[in-house]
Amino acid sequence: MYKNLLITCLLVAAAASNYYLTPAFPPTAYQNQFYNVRFRVRGLDDPVFTFEGLPKSLSGNAAGVISGIPA
């Protein structure tokens, strides 16, 4: 079970305080169970995401999706 996924969301915006990341924290991922979550930014169209510190069995993309099967 991965409880402490480090997620970095890079938003290119002038007033980042007006935007809200949803979900605010990633749901818990369980070992050997498919995991898929999509992050969105309320108030911003087409944000670009980067994810750092994910386990090797999970991947993230620029659209804000983290998926995989945690090993």
pLDDT value of position 24: 84
pLDDT in tens, the chain (71 residues): 454 454 444 444 434 567 788 898 889 989 999 999 999 988 888 888 988 888 899 999 999 999 999 98
Q: Three-state SS for 62? A: coil
Are the CB atoms for 45 and 19 separated by under 8 Å? no
Handedness of CA 25, 23, 42, 38 (dihedral sign): positive
Domain ranges of the chain: 16-68
